[in-house]
Structure 1
């Protein structure tokens, strides 16, 4: 799989600043503030319009944001991540477009998955992790359309990571790989 070319400046610089701020606040406060997301979305729209014009820039902004949203929404609905994480990838997507957003999501899933697995193993919670995964997969098959989200029993958490950090690492990795 070839890496898409690096988006033109100032996109990489803006995205780097965004993910560093988001990761920092996620580490410190365990949340990504809506103010960071809102500023990022407005900046992304301005940059896209400046680079591509009103129509093409607006469409690229919307397509990237929709891609980021769609890739993480299922995990949010399964209570596997917080809304701030979904909004962060949505904002990153608004800057970089859908093709790069997809690659950033894959890199983030890999980094976040390895980190979460390491956390579960280091805390002696690997068996609970496997039980949780079985319960989630089993609930996909057994839940009727009439069941409410509150009627589904949530498995016990094996620990949470500040996923904004994994997303920052995935984003920086993809941007770095695109420079070569």
Structure 2
């Protein structure tokens, strides 16, 4: 799928550098530093205002960040994702806007899903995955305490966000 967009020249390299830095710290330390996300949000604000003017730039920055935040916030609330991942996607949205961050989130979910399926299969944990899904789908089980969710492991999702974002940016600028 080819996404046509006006990803301005200074935006793509900045976003790629930021998500690669976030992915590398997530892989090494299993966390995404707030300082990196904060610097990225601040940088996005200045670049958006520089490219589009104060009013339009602020609107683009805010809308992109809110959409990015809203896309992954439900996963965080269900304990399926860490807060750093949610904040990282909000930062990406502040740079690339609501439409492209939506596409980046979709690409991220596909990449992260394939990664988790491969990891789960390699560890022969599909039985735990199905049991966990049953507990999630049937909320009555959770209320009685009759069943609980046992983790099948996690992945540094910042790497999946980086891969999804970069793939969308490369497609958008092609």
**Is 1:168 paired with 2:148?**
no
**Is 1:177 paired with 2:164?**
no
- Aligned-residue Cα RMSD (Å) equals 1.8
What is the match of residue 57 of structure 1?
A: 57
Query: Structure 1 residues 121, 45: closer, same or farther in 2, change over 3 A?
Result: same
What is the match of residue 44 of structure 2?
A: 44
1:2 Cα shift?
5.0
- Structure 1: segments with no counterpart, 5+ residues: none
Runs of 4+ in 1 over 6 A off after TM superposition: none
What is the match of residue 7 of structure 2?
A: 7
Query: Structure 1 residues 167, 152: closer, same or farther in 2, change over 3 A?
Result: farther
Assess if the C-alpha contact under 8 Å between 1:4 and 1:99 holds in 2: no
After TM superposition, the score normalised by the length of structure 1 is 0.91
| Greater CA drift, 6-15 or 49-58 | 6-15
- Structure 2: segments with no counterpart, 5+ residues: none
Q: 5 Å matches for 1:16-31?
A: 16-31=16-31
What is the match of residue 101 of structure 1?
A: 101
- Separation in structure 2 between the aligned mates of residue 4 and residue 100 of structure 1, nearest angstrom: 10
1:136 Cα shift?
1.2
1:137 Cα shift?
1.9
- Separation in structure 2 between the aligned mates of residue 153 and residue 138 of structure 1, nearest angstrom: 10
Query: Structure 1 residues 61, 154: closer, same or farther in 2, change over 3 A?
Result: farther
